[in-house]
Amino acid sequence: MASALLKKIIHILFLILIIFNLINCSDDKPQQIHLAFNEDYGISVSWLTNDPTTTSMVLFGTESGKYTNSASGYSTTYYVSYNHHVPISNLKPSTKYYYICGDETAGWSSQYYFITAPQIGKQDPFTIAVYGDMGTTNSIPTMQSLMNTLPLTDWHLHVGDISYADDYLRIGATYEDTWNDFQTALEPITSIRPYMVCPGNHEATCHSVTTITCRDEFKNFSAYQHRFRMPSLESNSTSGNMWYSFNYSSVHFISISTETDYPNSPEGPRTLWNSGPFGDQLSWLENDLILANNRRANQPWIIVFGHRPMYSSHTRDYPLEAGKHLRDAIEDLLHTYKVDLYICGHVHAYERLYPIYKNKVAQKNYDSPTEVVPIVIGNAGNVEGHSTDWKDPTPDYLAARNDVDYGFALMTVYNRTTLYWSARRATDGSVFDEVTITKN
């Protein structure tokens, strides 16, 4: 009798333990899953948990539900949650892999998938979604349209100002909650499409005006550096996520920091934001451009992206002459190494510019441009609304502008000679501006 009672008590305790573990595991299952490229055909899988886990693992394979491979990574923390990153290498190009991520004890995610980059130099068309300055407010139509265009896109590019967590007082949430809400909202996209980012001014700290009232954990681009894992190490950068490059098909993409690490940068040391230094960005940029130019037989296109514009028809430029300081730092490099396109945001509107160098329009068409083509795509939607106040008269370098619609762009690289860009409204995905850029 006593033995039977003891067995019953043990059984009940065992059930309680299982329920307790399930409750705790559910809290530690991966959240905010997002992908990024690393080496040429590699993928990094990242996610967040509320508590530390024993391991950070990805199980993956080429058949749904059959995970024949595994990769382990690492976790970091800057405040209360934990950010996990697992770089996966030695993958086949243009291959679909199914994956789950997490930890054996804390729990696994649902199954998702990723598709690796095409063979370098391959001329098959690909399409990416491009947008900037997207937060949790005024962005729901954009996010919905991005979901609707998933069948058309191979990956996504967000050119800075991610979530607007530093505007949390205007949003009515905390700094961390705003980051979490944003990344959770994008998970249906970022868990199945690589999501490449660059730093904007709203990633610097917990307030967009100053760091004085911010916790030390929120300063110096900490959230941005911990939450993402861009291919810096794979591109000989030691800056964390501040600048890096990667290859995709017939294009070499270069991400830069327009916020720090060049003369008179707007958010570097001895500014109100006192960020960095993170390294010698300009030397790295030139070395990367030299390597990219040497590979132009296979990858004829070079596209640079950063947050701030070198040129804009917007009147406000804060800090004063920030655009000029950026031009002074990088424009000669883009000219010397014949960069094809510079994509940016910061201005909360859409602007397409003619090819330009040293404030002079090179040509008023896009047939084999002799200078870089700048495009501003900062109209994805955020709590600050649209930009207003435009230069009068309109600069001759401006080809098109839209300061009314929230939206995004789709960029299709057809082959080694033709690139098509279409700017679209968030409300219905309709095209409001388009241009075809050709190369000899």
Give the whole-angstrom CA distance, residue 138 versus residue 269.
Answer: 33
Kindly list the distances between the CA atom of residue 44 and the CA atoms of 150, 192, 331, in Å, as whole numbers in the listed order.
20, 12, 31
The pLDDT tens digits for 380-392 are 999 999 999 999 9
Bridge partners of 305, per DSSP, are 255, 343
* Crossing angle (nearest 10°) for helices 140-148 and 175-190: 20
Buried b (16+ CB within 10 A) or exposed e, 55-68: bbbbbbeeeeeebe
C-beta of residue 186 within 8 angstroms of C-beta of residue 332: no
Kindly list the distances between the CA atom of residue 152 and the CA atoms of 146, 247, 249, 378, 389, in Å, as whole numbers in the listed order.
10, 20, 17, 21, 35
C-beta of residue 405 within 8 angstroms of C-beta of residue 131: no
Give the whole-angstrom CA distance, residue 343 versus residue 68.
Answer: 39
Give the whole-angstrom CA distance, residue 399 versus residue 365.
Answer: 9
pLDDT at 24: 42
Concatenate the DSSP letters of all residues of 211-267 into one string.
STTS-GGGSTTHHHHHH---STGGGT--STTSSEEEEETTEEEEE--SSSSSTT-TT
Other CB atoms closer than 10 Å to residue 353's CB: what's the count? 23
Instruction: Kindly give the parts of the chain with pLDDT less than 50.
Output: 1-2, 6-7, 9-26
The pLDDT tens digits for 291-349 are 999 999 999 999 999 999 999 999 988 888 999 999 999 999 999 999 999 999 999 99
Task: State both tokens at 105.
Answer: 């004890």
Task: State both tokens at 250.
Answer: 């017939």
pLDDT at 159: 98
Please give the helix or strand (H or E) that residue 14 lies within, else none.
helix 2-28
Reported pTM? 0.93
Closest CA to 407 of 430, 384, 390, 389: 430
pLDDT at 372: 98
Radius of gyration of the chain (CA): 23
Alpha carbons within 13 A on the beta-carbon side of 86: 23
C-beta of residue 56 within 8 angstroms of C-beta of residue 86: yes
The pLDDT tens digits for 417-433 are 999 999 999 999 999 99
pLDDT at 18: 34
Give the whole-angstrom CA distance, residue 423 versus residue 131.
Answer: 10
pLDDT at 10: 37
